[in-house]
Amino acid sequence: MSGTFLGMPAFPEAARTSVHNPTLRANIRHATHTIRTKRAAAVAELDDWAELREAGKQIKEHTLRHLDRYLVQLEEAVTAAGGTVHWAADADEANRIVTELVRATGESEVVKVKSMATQEIGLNEALEAAGIAAYETDLAELIVQLGEDRPSHILVPAIHRNRGEIRDIFRREMGRWGRAAPDGLSDEPAQLAEAARLHLREKFLRAKVAVSGANFMVAETGTLVVVESEGNGRMCLTLPETLISVAGIEKVVPTWRDLEVFLQTLPRSSTAERMNPYTSMWTGTTPGDGPRNFHLVLLDNGRTDTLADEVGRQALRCIRCSACLNVCPVYERAGGHAYGSVYPGPIGAILSPQLRGTQSEIDASLPYASSLCGACYDVCPVAIDIPEVLVHLREQVAEQPGHRLERAAMGAAAKAFDHPSVLAAGQRLASLTRRLHPSKLPGPGRAWSESRDLPAFPAESFRTWFKRQERRKREEGTR
């Protein structure tokens, strides 16, 4: 995975700034509550939502189980339709492939459709290092790029910005990247959208190369699908001569019939729409229609390792709707940047540590960035049991160095519960010494016990009390 966000402090420290920023919290609270309310209404319109959710889960499970077969089928279909398929084991390889493909065209700039996969691998930075300018064309991504910022939400990357901040960014930065913002630009949404439209149109009409991701790839025909709301994607996918799409290997679905399920659940779950305003599909190349050259870069970057984990692999079912972010009480307060990855919120807390491993401070802390309330699971349109994966990842983190005390405590507890006499002796000792017990845990456990009351130990254990009662009854019976 890209090193873009690596080196960040652990989640609690990274979240501290946003938790103490009332403007940021207000921006995020307003946006997430609006989207979640609309989503709930859009989902409630469908009587068969539960069946669609189960179907989505089953299709993804089946595909992941037979991923090798469907990826080969996809490659054959794309090739037969005039496209070229490249395989990238990691971010570096994917970036190198895309850079070489752009260089081969002789161009030094590309327009981009919003894509999580290219953010994941840090493609813009890699292209910049090679002297190629990458222009984001999704409105929110444009705001993030002009503001030299980082995305903080899967669907609404500039969710942490309000209208006034966006106006200032446009006024200050647009001229540096191309057409400047109109004089006297206000923070009215229509004016901001018009400024972005004029700025981007220049780039759409000039670009010879576009880079996209894919929401889905249909194995049976080699068709790629991008869903979006602004039409910028459609411009990028149709106008340039060369189109390069970078997609995670888990984006494949076997058939068009399978795709139908997700085209119902994704828009309702993400933007609360009945269908997407723009759903673009293309199969290889067609003479006289759209790009003349099409390249598909299939990205692994930690996905096959994730697939090998029986519990964790369900994260690969994700269709990036972002519903789990909008209901998460932790995300609402911490914001997206604290997660240290392009995948924030509950899905980020389980996906990033699996794609990148749990060695870094931030990745080891992400499985703990949750109250385990389960709201994310309830809204997920492909029924990913995020709390289950979080607990599973916590177990893995606890196995790493630095958790010696926790492991020793759990080991001692396991031994005591395995040997009733040891447990009884321990309980007796704890009861006898109860007045000496501290009210707070020492050392690493102190932070945990600071916000909780440690329960007082009883004067006698249930076991001792029970024995005493039995003895009393026997004595009364013999009188």
Judged by the rule CB under 6 A, the positions of this chain that interact with ligand SF4 are 318-324, 347, 379-382, 384
Instruction: Please choose, from the candidates 70, 89, 90, 68, the residue with its C-alpha nearest in 3D space to the C-alpha of residue 78.
Output: 70
Closest approach of ligand SF4 to the CB of residue 306, in Å? 13
Whichever of 199 and 251 has its CB closer to ligand SF4, that residue is: 251
Q: How far is CA 90 from the centre of its chain?
A: 18
Residue 69 phi/psi, 5-degree rounding, is -65, -45
Whichever of 28 and 85 has its CB closer to ligand SF4, that residue is: 28
User: What is the three-class DSSP state of 439?
Assistant: coil
Whichever of 237 and 379 has its CB closer to ligand SF4, that residue is: 379
Whichever of 86 and 317 has its CB closer to ligand SF4, that residue is: 317
Q: What is the 3-state secondary structure (H, E, C) of 377-438?
A: HHHCCCCCCHHHHHHHHHHHHHCCCCCHHHHHHHHHHHHHHHCHHHHHHHHHHHHHCHHHCC
Whichever of 291 and 387 has its CB closer to ligand SF4, that residue is: 387
Whichever of 210 and 390 has its CB closer to ligand SF4, that residue is: 390
Whichever of 160 and 203 has its CB closer to ligand SF4, that residue is: 160
Whichever of 83 and 151 has its CB closer to ligand SF4, that residue is: 151
Closest approach of ligand SF4 to the CB of residue 406, in Å? 28
Kindly give, in sequence order, each residue whose CB lies less than 8 Å from that of residue 255, ignoring residues fewer than 6 positions away: 218, 219, 220
Closest approach of ligand SF4 to the CB of residue 120, in Å? 14
d(CA 238, CA 286): 11
Closest approach of ligand SF4 to the CB of residue 274, in Å? 17
Closest approach of ligand SF4 to the CB of residue 324, in Å? 3
Closest approach of ligand SF4 to the CB of residue 325, in Å? 7
Closest approach of ligand SF4 to the CB of residue 33, in Å? 16
How many Cβ atoms are within 10 Å of 458's Cβ, its own excluded? Answer: 13
Closest approach of ligand SF4 to the CB of residue 10, in Å? 22
d(CA 108, CA 278): 28
d(CA 333, CA 97): 39
Whether the CA torsion 331, 56, 309, 225 is positive or negative: it is: negative
Please return the burial class of 449, using the count of CB atoms within 10 Å of its CB with bins 0-12, 13-18 and 19+: middle
d(CA 61, CA 69): 14
